[in-house]
Structure 1
């Protein structure tokens, strides 16, 4: 057996009377290292030279079955080569012992060159002609083998102080053509290390790694506990060097102590690239250092499988080989099981890159998450979210890992009258390893199904995050970004109350995870979710036959508010009773966030003038329908300062309108809401018709109406065909009327007054169907100031083409102010106010009108002229000239005949008088005769001559 080798590092131990365990004594009593030989002189030559090796062989000294020692800090070399007379079978054992103290605690062996047999397979009969095995006697026999050839740097670090390297040759190697090349060779370097200096395995002294507790009667099984307080590291056997072959190791990681109300999640991973390298290929150069999964590791058979333990069952989370960075693999509970398996046979090759170690070292982590949260699932990854538990919320993907071909489902279950709104604020696909050629084309799939999963409608079915609707602007969080809400292209809104989100992991979630944050909200959609398809989903019809009394509230459907993009809202509630019924409404609560409201003394007139809303605000308006098609406003509320308040209608038909404008993206039903009670009560019917028609008339309205069934009831003024109405009211106009703002046809002596200045009763004039008054007048009986109001369309040419008789009518309502609010006004002397009305036709109906009121350019009936009552604002219909011009033609004829007769009689009388005067003048004056020849000036005419020449002319 001794002649099988050409070289040996040392003589047999029986001749090694050593000065130290790493030396032996030559024949001349000199001590030389065991990796040197005695040359008979005063020096020792290093082994490895053919001449010296043959000298040892000739002397009969063999390198095998020898125990080697050494000192810490020194390196030793052994180079064994096959001799020409090798006898088969052959076995050689080299034992290395770290004797402690200066002789070290651990053994490091560097296999530099190995040529031994032929490598065939990793699993069966892998080394048929010869193999090399490495054993540590103190931990039991493993039985793995290496063979083939390599000249790379392969390092083995012992876990105990003794290592035995065994070389076995079962079949002679084939002859090679290269002259002088040896068929079998083993060249190695060995040294001895101190445990305290092995910081890669054990860590520095001030931050030692916890490698678990070794389980008795096993080779490499270990148990870890309380890793939340320890620096736990899971390492392969003999890390950071070559790991043994034909090995199975189990590592159990438990977290026994868990804080109250928390759930422990145990994880392993490695963020540094060079600390994990589990062989997966026979290639001479493995440049693509990455993780390989499942069947991709079957070539070599070295795998690390990670299971989560749940009671008596285990679930495989990931099985991998290869190397590089290992993402955190997290159990859904407090216990993990790692199983490391290696194949029986291998060729001795590993990546010699700097800072790359064979085997693995994984960091252990423990996190505590709240119990009953969406961050973990005990058994199946299924969650059910019900609106009975929370109307809205958000959650993220589970914090633990999921195996390949697994699902994680989120089932949203709402009430029948609810829909579900979903939107992602974060959705990111995290691939820790690049996809392989043979891998699945889609590692994760997202599906969103509405209704029952088997027969539901597919809202989304995409590969990974591609195509999924994401609302990125919401990542900043509420209150930090005032932008438009998530629209239909950024969120999902169901039609029903059930929807299921499923994340399907084709590959393990550790390799290709889907990180997301999903927001959900169950939105009230009325009695049926289908109500959302109506133009006005919040409108309601209430009949006294079905509901005598009840509660009305603002819609809680967030789809109608600014949160879902709406800027305004209008809801109508129509209450219809029997003819002998009225509606009693009690306003309980009203709230409008950041709404502008002027406020009024009366709680039912808090809006001030019922004009259009502007900017941002909310309003609750109540109107009734005393006549078919005629709407009469009764109350307007924009704040809840004066509530509760009660209103009793005049009729059995009431409409309540809830209006909101100026909403922003953060407004929902909690920002604008109201609550009221309604009740249909039996009342005594008002027998008065209160419908007025005719060319003109006067309404005398009591300022303090007496109690009775008709108290406060409105009046309806209806015009004739192709006519409009003109109403005149003594008093001053109140700012806010439609005609005073939009039309400019309000005739008043002064500008409109602010609403707060009116201390007397108010008279409102409405167009039927329009809750906003055409004019509001602060009445002042006996005042010289008068307000004139036209019916709608008076100043609009061709308005008769689209305005019917009802639209041209006017509703007059007198709002009596309580006595304690009236103050000292003219109401103390007057008990009623006279409201005059007249039918009028605008000038655009005719080019010329003989009975026109010039102040308003309106034509009234000719029968109203000169009747003793002013119907025109300026009184032009009662002027003297106008009345004379307006007389009948027969009267004009009689007047002309009378004037003619008077003219004829006057002419005859004048002629007769002239003739008589002329006769008297001829007899009296002729008696005066001048003497001839006597010439004198004629006498001066008398001051009052007796004869006058009169020329009388009468012109009519």
Structure 2
């Protein structure tokens, strides 16, 4: 590793220092009140691989203010490309503040060649093992001491460093190695550390603090703009930064303490002590939403933008004392990896408008689907509303397959008692504009450790295994055609990720006809002929999933009753029908011409279930005459026209449905027509003769004449009942 190489290459031996490869001298220990020697105001060169030591002696009080300039230049080739400075001993004045007049007695400043002056200062005493790596081939150190310590036993100046010249190819932590070279972006001309990174899908992009992996400069603001211009058709690009190695992130957040337990990522106001922080914007400008502001040290989770631009701002305070994280394996500053992600442009995996998180899902687009949390990070104080809008005859069925909102520690993150992540489920449409709310009820309100009803066993489903359907206690069903999920995140989703998956379905509740009075079954319907109603129409099996196996039902029985007026008969035309592939065929009886269901005798209905469509007549009230039966797929229209009864019923029965079956497996569609067949006089005669043809007794006779006498009924129905009780 680059860092370890620098650390262990230090030599305790005091080497000769070359000034312009001439004027050699040896640094020696002298009394602390010795006048500053020839070490100041010089340029230092050196050979690659050698370590040199340099000490600046404490000035006398009558020589104050003391100013010392040290230039270190890597001459290229064997003279190196970069400079490594290791501060073995550092005490310059005293440190009192990170932000305002923090170095009243004196300071050290570093200026790199070809970079603007930052004005940042270090003072006080150094903590730990402090190393500085240059960005350029030359840098200047300025030491300034304005006053000595007023206490006779204390000294506020003690400066000793070791310096070394390195080749760029040896700086593996910064630039990578020959097999994988890190790309740090293009430096913006005239800036100290602003960079632009693009094309990160084809090369390993890294965002690094200035002078990484050493201490970063003071009083700087760096802007890292990440862009991706080439977008594949049909895709939407997201940008992500992260660092899973915790030792590669340490942005100073407090006065340094030798306590490893203090290493944690901090956010927002917690970074105000030192005012060193990294801010991530969801876009290419500082006016875009802020996803997070970080400091401290730990692994950085994925921070994902909602589009193809991301801006990172690194800010440091003007004053500090040199430091290094503890233990030494942790590096000061930061390095973040950049990734380019893509999602389907038509999906709901990203928010179209980052300032207005509203998602609309309608049954016009899809009758069902899966809704997941956005694949990108959400800024603090975000409220996302997911509106489910069906047709007027539809309901919304929601099932949470998973839901997890990471908890936040109110003490650690200065949160109020209010929910960090709050989920509310509304039985209707909720508008984002105040004063426009509809009168909708709340189906659920969840905060902190509370979670909505879960149907998590659905996660066990795969291509070869199906799980049982979600029950009403594991899901939510709207009372009308609309429903709204409202998710609020007080702290955003970067450090407190939100992960949910919802299956939604728009359930068709339409049922033709009117409900049969006295029936508890909603799918029992009646179609009556009247002056105010049409003489015909369509009828079909119910399309609500809750009547079928996938909706939790095992059996289905629906009766559709057709009631013509006197002098009318019913004509039914079945246009299509499906019976789930049950072992049964529809055959026409050669003698009667009627349809009958022929079951496979080798299989038992008790094990395979029944799926049949029965058509029955009711010539007299309470007297049912089964007429036709269908049980196999119907592709061509089947017309039933020989009805002479006053009432006809169609009974659709399905038993033993499995958990995958619904109206796509069992269904029928048809048309009905009330047809006038008799005059008023014929109707009166018909009623008279119908009463005469209800026969009861031990024996009797029926007389048929041909040709038929006018004003008699054209169909001869007789009801024969035994006078002997059954059983």
The verdict on how the C-alpha distance between 1:102 and 1:634 changes in structure 2, with shifts beyond 3 A counting, is same
Query: 3-state SS of the aligned residue for 1:688?
Result: helix
**Equivalent residue for 2:8?**
none
**Equivalent residue for 2:134?**
158
Counterpart contact for 1:613–1:661, Cα < 8 Å: no
1:320-339 matched pairs, under 5 angstroms: 320-339=294-313
Q: Which moved more, 1:413-422 or 1:348-357?
A: 348-357
**Equivalent residue for 1:617?**
610
**Equivalent residue for 1:607?**
597
**Equivalent residue for 2:380?**
404
Consecutive unaligned residues in structure 2, runs of 5 or more: 1-13, 431-436
**Equivalent residue for 1:697?**
699
Query: 3-state SS of the aligned residue for 2:174?
Result: helix
**Equivalent residue for 1:315?**
289
Q: Deviations over 1:736-755 (max 9, x none)?
A: xxxxxxxxxxxxxxxxxxxx
What is the CA–CA distance in structure 1 between the aligned matches of 2:68 and 2:46, rounded to whole Å? Answer: 20
Counterpart contact for 2:394–2:507, Cα < 8 Å: yes
Q: Which moved more, 1:683-692 or 1:118-127?
A: 683-692
Shift of 1:436: 1.8
Counterpart contact for 2:618–2:648, Cα < 8 Å: yes
**Equivalent residue for 2:242?**
269
**Equivalent residue for 1:216?**
189
Query: 3-state SS of the aligned residue for 2:412?
Result: coil
What is the CA–CA distance in structure 1 between the aligned matches of 2:718 and 2:266, rounded to whole Å? Answer: 90
What is the CA–CA distance in structure 2 between the aligned matches of 1:154 and 1:328, rounded to whole Å? Answer: 29
Shift of 1:232: 0.8
Query: 3-state SS of the aligned residue for 1:436?
Result: helix
Query: 3-state SS of the aligned residue for 2:114?
Result: helix
Shift of 1:539: 2.1
1:239 aligns with 2:232: no
What is the CA–CA distance in structure 1 between the aligned matches of 2:449 and 2:484, rounded to whole Å? Answer: 17
1:73 aligns with 2:67: no
State the TM-score, normalized to the length of structure 1.
0.67
Query: 3-state SS of the aligned residue for 1:481?
Result: coil
Query: 3-state SS of the aligned residue for 1:512?
Result: coil
Q: Which moved more, 1:459-468 or 1:433-442?
A: 433-442
**Equivalent residue for 2:486?**
502
The verdict on how the C-alpha distance between 1:664 and 1:440 changes in structure 2, with shifts beyond 3 A counting, is farther
**Equivalent residue for 1:344?**
318
Query: 3-state SS of the aligned residue for 1:327?
Result: strand
1:418 aligns with 2:417: no
**Equivalent residue for 1:763?**
none
Shift of 1:421: 0.7
**Equivalent residue for 1:183?**
156
Equivalent of 2:68 in 77, 87, 92: 92
Shift of 1:202: 0.4
Shift of 1:706: 8.7
Q: Deviations over 1:799-827 (max 9, x none)?
A: xxxxxxxxxxxxxxxxxxxxxxxxxxxxx
**Equivalent residue for 2:624?**
631
Counterpart contact for 1:284–1:349, Cα < 8 Å: no
**Equivalent residue for 1:249?**
222
**Equivalent residue for 2:465?**
481
What is the CA–CA distance in structure 1 between the aligned matches of 2:369 and 2:709, rounded to whole Å? Answer: 57
Query: 3-state SS of the aligned residue for 2:123?
Result: strand
Q: Deviations over 1:529-566 (max 9, x none)?
A: x9999832222221212121112111111111111110
**Equivalent residue for 1:444?**
421
Q: Deviations over 1:364-384 (max 9, x none)?
A: 111121112111112122110
Counterpart contact for 2:572–2:671, Cα < 8 Å: yes
Equivalent of 1:119 in 84, 95, 115: 95
The verdict on how the C-alpha distance between 1:478 and 1:96 changes in structure 2, with shifts beyond 3 A counting, is closer
Counterpart contact for 1:585–1:648, Cα < 8 Å: no
Query: 3-state SS of the aligned residue for 1:559?
Result: helix
Query: 3-state SS of the aligned residue for 2:588?
Result: coil
1:123-138 matched pairs, under 5 angstroms: 123-138=99-114
The verdict on how the C-alpha distance between 1:551 and 1:624 changes in structure 2, with shifts beyond 3 A counting, is same
Query: 3-state SS of the aligned residue for 1:50?
Result: coil
Equivalent of 2:570 in 583, 589, 594: 583
Counterpart contact for 1:393–1:521, Cα < 8 Å: yes
The verdict on how the C-alpha distance between 1:306 and 1:694 changes in structure 2, with shifts beyond 3 A counting, is closer
What is the CA–CA distance in structure 2 between the aligned matches of 1:703 and 1:416, rounded to whole Å? Answer: 57
Query: 3-state SS of the aligned residue for 1:663?
Result: coil
Counterpart contact for 1:604–1:645, Cα < 8 Å: no
The verdict on how the C-alpha distance between 1:692 and 1:212 changes in structure 2, with shifts beyond 3 A counting, is closer
1:554-953 matched pairs, under 5 angstroms: 554-602=541-589, 604-608=594-598, 614=606, 615-640=608-633, 644-684=638-678, 685=683, 686=686, 688-689=689-690, 690-693=692-695, 695-699=697-701, 710=713, 713-718=716-721, 725-726=723-724, 794-795=726-727
Query: 3-state SS of the aligned residue for 2:641?
Result: strand
What is the CA–CA distance in structure 2 between the aligned matches of 1:49 and 1:312, rounded to whole Å? Answer: 52
Counterpart contact for 2:234–2:346, Cα < 8 Å: no
State the TM-score, normalized to the length of structure 2.
0.87
Equivalent of 1:383 in 359, 371, 374: 359
What is the number of residues matched between the two proteins? 682
Shift of 1:479: 4.7
Shift of 1:435: 7.5
1:305 aligns with 2:279: yes
**Equivalent residue for 2:23?**
24
Counterpart contact for 1:262–1:369, Cα < 8 Å: yes
Q: Deviations over 1:430-484 (max 9, x none)?
A: 5799982523564322211111324322122112673222222222446533432
Counterpart contact for 1:67–1:95, Cα < 8 Å: yes
Q: Deviations over 1:115-158 (max 9, x none)?
A: 22221111111111111111113212111011111252111000
Counterpart contact for 2:149–2:155, Cα < 8 Å: no
Q: Deviations over 1:313-340 (max 9, x none)?
A: 5221111111211111111111111111
What is the CA–CA distance in structure 2 between the aligned matches of 1:707 and 1:22, rounded to whole Å? Answer: 139
Consecutive unaligned residues in structure 1, runs of 5 or more: 1-8, 26-33, 37-46, 720-724, 727-790, 796-956
The verdict on how the C-alpha distance between 1:112 and 1:310 changes in structure 2, with shifts beyond 3 A counting, is closer
What is the CA–CA distance in structure 2 between the aligned matches of 1:89 and 1:704, rounded to whole Å? Answer: 140
The verdict on how the C-alpha distance between 1:671 and 1:503 changes in structure 2, with shifts beyond 3 A counting, is same
1:536 aligns with 2:521: yes
The verdict on how the C-alpha distance between 1:113 and 1:652 changes in structure 2, with shifts beyond 3 A counting, is same
Q: Deviations over 1:823-861 (max 9, x none)?
A: xxxxxxxxxxxxxxxxxxxxxxxxxxxxxxxxxxxxxxx
**Equivalent residue for 2:434?**
none
Query: 3-state SS of the aligned residue for 1:300?
Result: coil
Counterpart contact for 1:286–1:351, Cα < 8 Å: no
**Equivalent residue for 1:362?**
336
The verdict on how the C-alpha distance between 1:531 and 1:544 changes in structure 2, with shifts beyond 3 A counting, is closer
**Equivalent residue for 1:394?**
370
Shift of 1:691: 3.6
Query: 3-state SS of the aligned residue for 2:657?
Result: coil
What is the CA–CA distance in structure 2 between the aligned matches of 1:142 and 1:184, rounded to whole Å? Answer: 23
What is the CA–CA distance in structure 1 between the aligned matches of 2:46 and 2:113, rounded to whole Å? Answer: 19
Tell which structure's C-alpha radius of gyration is larger. Answer: 1
Shift of 1:693: 4.6
The verdict on how the C-alpha distance between 1:354 and 1:525 changes in structure 2, with shifts beyond 3 A counting, is same
Equivalent of 1:197 in 160, 170, 183: 170
What is the CA–CA distance in structure 2 between the aligned matches of 1:366 and 1:705, rounded to whole Å? Answer: 90
Query: 3-state SS of the aligned residue for 1:631?
Result: strand
Counterpart contact for 2:693–2:717, Cα < 8 Å: no
Counterpart contact for 1:412–1:499, Cα < 8 Å: yes
The verdict on how the C-alpha distance between 1:191 and 1:623 changes in structure 2, with shifts beyond 3 A counting, is same
The verdict on how the C-alpha distance between 1:152 and 1:437 changes in structure 2, with shifts beyond 3 A counting, is same
Q: Larger relative CO (CA 8 A, sep 6+): 1 or 2?
A: 2
What is the CA–CA distance in structure 1 between the aligned matches of 2:572 and 2:92, rounded to whole Å? Answer: 103
Shift of 1:424: 2.1
The verdict on how the C-alpha distance between 1:468 and 1:682 changes in structure 2, with shifts beyond 3 A counting, is same
